[in-house]
Structure 1
Amino acid sequence: MKHTRLLAALGSIALVTGVVAACGGDDAAQPTDTNAPGSADNAPLEISFVVPQVGDIPAKDNVIEKEIEKYTNTTLEFQWVPSSTYDEKINVMIASGDLPKIMRVNYVPTVINAAQNGMFWDIGPYLKEYKNLAAQNAQYYENIKIDGKLYGIPLYREIGRSALIYRKDWFDAAGLKPPKTLDDYYNIAKGIATSDPDKNGKNDTYGFMLDKKYNDGSTASNVVTRLAVTQGGVNKWGVDSNGKITAEFMTPQYMDVLKLFRRLYAEKLINQDFPALEGQEADKKFESGQAAMKVNGLATNAANIFDRMVKTLPTAQLDTTHWEGPQGFRIAAQNGNNGFHVFPKATVKTEDELKRLLKFMDQLLDEKMSTLQKRGIEGVHHKKVEDGMVQWIDLTAFNREVKPYRDDLLNFETYNVPPLKDSPLAMKGYKMEPEGLNYAVHNPVLNLSSQTFSERGKELELMISDAGTNYIVGKIDDAGWQAAVDNWRKAGGDLMIKEYEAAYAKHKK
């Protein structure tokens, strides 16, 4: 049976692959010892990686690579592949069975099918042996399980990192507070659109703007899901105590958000061009002072946006806050990873060899390696300041020299990494993103099986997203929306729900 999950359907299918070739034998690995050798006879563990190119290709034998090799007792060989051809290369490798020893992959049908066919090691039974891997929140692993088994190590990303970003100067001038109810969103939108907050004598500002991916399948950009969750709604799918699963667009909270957008559009209180507006263009409009709220942001992005904004709007002020509704903070959880590393059985042939590789991955999360990947080298990229914090010396050099390794290896911003001393807004974002996990509303079908979704999920989702846009712009009414939902159910939606319910019942046994 083909499998996938909803969040991966419209997301990137880029897969990052590493090849690990071991030298010599080894005893079973122990929990991480920062000075432990790569193998029992102290021979370095030879590791070659095939990875997508991130910026400029690092020079061979550069200092970052050498530091990793020295600490982990390895020799590394990187093959940097252009992102434009990377998907094709990885798919060919999986299809041909010409597999490396460590692969960074995404949760997509090709990978899931390979796991179900026995291609990868189930690492769940070994995780507790490795102190750094075992220390991470269990939800990060739960989100990548396949049929209840853990086939890889996630490239950790914060689960509750999305946040509302808003123009604090405009809010303060108008006596506004961050919105909690849908009426608040309407009143802010109307007030901003009609009060000329930028004082240019024109009605050319909005409370917030939408772009053409406002209802994208990923919660990273899905504004409807985010707002519906704040109002007590579900994150893409809901499940009750009896295991009954419901799509979000069948819930009243989702419909209430669509009605809000429909009203705003009819009254010209949101941008009329949103069905064709690219996300990058919407971002530029926000940064140029055309909107009061950014409703598809991340907490740590606020400072970067502000840095760009003040170059043309020097008096602007930004702030950020957790998504909040009548029930308190509620955040539509993201999947918590940027792919995950798997270990093919065809090339990792023994348990001892697997443990050696897991030890290497665990060492990457030790303090020295985590700091190297996330902050670079002291005195070159960062310097130590008060209270255990560090400050950038040369962020441009870090992005050129360190970021390629940070993006393709294993690290986590909030684990074994010294905090950054930065602007108050940036430091607020650093605090908010891990804190958001406490308020996360998870997608219950994130790692459940549905053959219908695997085969026709994108088509079915497009039916609903198109209907939502047509409803907002007034091309269809309530009856037309309901007809679209009925068509979705007949076209495979009901079958998909049944498959998810069966998988949920099996998973919960």
Structure 2
Amino acid sequence: MNRLRLLALWVSLVTAAGALSGCVGGKSRESGGKEDPTPFTVTIATPQIGEAPKKGNEVEKAIEKYTNAKLDIQWIPAPAFEDKKNIMIASGELPKAIKLTSNATTVSAIQSGIFWEIGPLLKNYKHLSSASSLYYDNIRVDGKLYGLPLYRDIGRAGITYRKDWFDALNLKPPVTLDDWYTIMKAVAKKDPDNNGQDDTYGMFLDKSFNDPSTSSAFLTRLAVSQGAPNKWGIEDGKLVPEFMTKPYLDSMKLLRRLFQEKLINRDFSVVQPADADNKWNAGKVGIRVNTVASAAASSQENLSMAVPNGKVGIVPFVGPSGNRVPAEPGNNGFFVFPKSSVKTEEELKRLLGFFDQLLEPEMSTLLTRGIEHKHFTKTADGKAEFIDLGRFNLEVKPYRDSLPSFEVNGTGMPLKMTELQEKGWKVVADNLNLAVPNPALTLSSKTYSDKGGELDMMISDAQTKFIMEKLDEAGWQAEVDKWRKAGGDQMMEEYTAEYAKKK
């Protein structure tokens, strides 16, 4: 079934569900501006994270008591979620909140009017409205907000590196592309692990290095630091893809030179991300590219198992114009509220109030730290220290990952951290206001909906061939021209028109 037919079926099912469902999740309660003492039923459908928690567990009871809610979460195994969602809609068994992810089908369903718009109401909720506008801008449809994001860090990029090697080789973290080359050559050729073998890499790339679907791809991060746009940029009022800009091409040329001189792994086009991680863990890599700044401490822990004296450093991506990183979507999906099950605006307001309460200090601590004396203890200086991380992952993590929360920079109890953890999270916090947005993130293009996968593959394959010297620069430009004729030009026109309309 093609996308258009699937969309038509999806929308028709929702429309039917709106007629069939009477009081899904319980009757709406009009409070008239007064506090309603009756527990408010909150029904949620979300993909399952790990093992589904048992009904009535201690964490769930604590949420219900604090928010005066009766919580009913349907934990649906992730591989079955899309099919189950459609079945729920067809049967009329819609929850009050259902998690969606950004894609063409979702955008079209939202445009059909089946979900509540919540943007004008957010100002009335202290914690929801205090989150950076980027979290919301990244999921707007036609300039309007319909969803509450499961917040994730927006500026996650950072350079995780072997500080002990850099110190020994008198190297500093890179700024220019020439710096990157110097570091790659030194680490690959100067035997920083002192084992007398030619077995170290400046960085160990994997096949996701140029993933067109994510702003966290290494090539995008590198190019943005050098002045390129984040996936799409604006030139003379028109939207152009990152790979048609000079900083991006220059970054590709650097990788080509590194490949040419055997300073990076020659098999990068077929290496799995897990294999690249293993190379880092084994102590063979100078800069770890497949990670985020907040995970610097984990990189240290993994390295220490093989290299007890190895020392990890973390710094932001800095280029000739300063700290510059690509903004990532800032969510792991978002909740929307069907009009067929949330009957009135008063009911919607009460539902938003529930989600706002989850960001208050007590609930934020519960979702990100767990229950005191069971999952964490409070230190003398008022910070949370985990005492049973395995138990936390089993009992609390499913709620933390499936409900809105901020793991570190929220209102919950601060986490006791090592110096490296603090540095990593500071990079993330500092990146937030410096992150370069992707102007096409919330725009729609019929061409991309119809053949985006094919167009993405054309370019990613050509990039790999260029880096591996199977294409020269003229050959690369010829591939870009093919992309443009195959639908790229049309997609640029559609994005440009959408962008102008949005402005």
TM-score by length of 1: 0.91
| 1:464 shift after superposition | 0.4
Aligned to 2:253: 259
Comparing 94-103 and 440-449, the one that deviates more:
94-103
Residue number among 195, 198, 203 corresponding to 1:203 in the alignment: 198
Match among 343, 349, 354 for residue 360 of structure 1:
354
Q: Find the counterpart in structure 1 of residue 296 from structure 2.
A: 302
| Aligned-partner SS, 2:399 | helix
Contact kept? 1:421, 1:427, Cα under 8 Å: no
Question: 2:371 corresponds to which residue?
Answer: 377
Match of 1:193 in 2: 188
Aligned residue number for residue 118 of structure 1:
113
Q: State the secondary structure of the residue aligned to 2:291.
A: strand
Aligned to 1:22: 26
Residues 474 and 94 (structure 1), Cα distance of their counterparts in 2 relative to 1, 3 Å cut:
farther
TM-score, normalization: structure 2?
0.92
Whole-angstrom distance in 1 between the partners of 2:89 and 2:289: 38
Asked if structure 2 preserves the Cα contact closer than 8 Å seen for 1:211 and 1:279, the reply is: yes
Q: Structure 1's 457 and 268: CA in aligned 2 closer, same or farther, altered over 3 A?
A: same
Counterpart in the other structure of 2:480: 485
Match of 2:189, as an amino acid? T
Partner of 1:450: 445
Question: What is the CA–CA distance in structure 1 between the aligned matches of 2:333 and 2:33, rounded to whole Å?
Answer: 25
- Mind listing any 5+ residue stretches in structure 2 that lack a counterpart? 5-22
Is 1:182–1:257's contact at 8 Å kept on the other side of the alignment? yes
Q: Is the 8 A contact 1:162 1:296 kept in 2?
A: no
Find the aligned partners of 2:24 and 2:311 in 1 and give their Cα distance.
Answer: 49
Could you tell me how far apart the structure 1 residues matched to 2:225 and 2:90 are?
A: 43
**Identity of matched residues, %:** 51
Per the TM alignment, residue 496 of structure 1 is displaced from its structure 2 partner at its CA by 0.5
Aligned to 2:60: 65
Residues 371-397 of structure 1 show CA distances to partners (whole Å, capped at 9, x for unaligned) of 100010111111222443221111111
Q: Which residue of 1 aligns with 2:49?
A: 54
Q: Say whether the 8 Å CA contact 1:258–1:472 is kept in structure 2.
A: yes
Aligned counterpart for 2:241 among listed residues 241, 244, 247: 247
Post-superposition shift, 1:437? 0.8
For 1:175-212, what per-residue CA distance to the aligned partner results, in whole angstroms no more than 9, with x for missing partners?
10000011111111111111111111111111011101
Q: Are the equivalent residues in 2 in contact too, given 1:219–1:332 (CA < 8 A)?
A: no
Work out whether 1:171 is the aligned partner of 2:166: yes
Q: Gapped runs of 5+ residues in structure 1?
A: 4-18, 31-35
What is the aligned partner in structure 1 of residue 150 from structure 2? Answer: 155
Q: Spell out, residue by residue over 1:119-176, the C-alpha distance to the aligned partner (whole angstroms, 9 max, x if none).
A: 1111011111111111111111111000000011111111111111000000000010
Structure 1 residues 355, 416: CA separation in 2 closer, same or farther (over 3 Å shift)?
A: same
Letter in 1 for 2:357: Q
Task: Give the match for residue 419 of structure 2.
Answer: 424
Q: Is the 8 A contact 2:216 2:328 kept in 1?
A: no
After superposition, give the CA deviation of every residue in 1:318-364 in whole Å (9 maximum; x if it has no partner).
Answer: 01111001111001110111111111112112111111111111111
Q: Who is 1:269 aligned against? A: 263
Post-superposition shift, 1:430?
2.1
Q: CA RMSD in A?
A: 1.8
1:203 and 1:59 map into 2 onto residues whose CA distance is 53
Determine the C-alpha separation between the residues in 2 that align with 1:496 and 1:483: 18
Code of the residue aligned with 2:286 in structure 1: it is A
What code does the residue aligned with 1:125 have?
P
- 3-state SS in 1 of match to 2:309: coil
- Tell me, yes or no, if structure 1 residue 464 matches structure 2 residue 459: yes
| Aligned mate of 2:470, from 475, 488, 491 | 475
Q: Secondary structure at the match of 1:347?
A: coil
Aligned to 2:229: 234
Letter matched to residue 144 of structure 1: I
Q: Distance between the aligned counterparts of 1:382 and 1:166, measured in 2?
A: 30
- Cα 1:184–1:29 change in 2 (3 A) is farther
Shift of 1:28: 5.0
In the alignment, residue 231 of structure 2 is paired with which amino acid?
Answer: K
- The answer to whether the 8 A contact 2:204-2:288 is kept is yes
Contact 1:166 1:293 in 2 (8 A): yes
Give the structure 2 partner of residue 331 of structure 1. 325
Shift of 1:59: 2.4
The amino acid that maps onto 2:414 is: P
**Aligned match of 2:218 in 212, 215, 223?**
223
Distance 2:25 2:255 in 1: 55
Q: CA deviation digits over 1:437-485, x for unaligned, max 9?
A: 1221111111112111111111111110000000111111111101110
1:91 Cα shift?
A: 4.2
The Cα shift of 1:224 comes to 1.3
For the Cα contact (< 8 Å) 2:50–2:398, is it kept in 1? Answer: yes
**In 2, distance between residues paired with 1:126 and 1:209?**
47
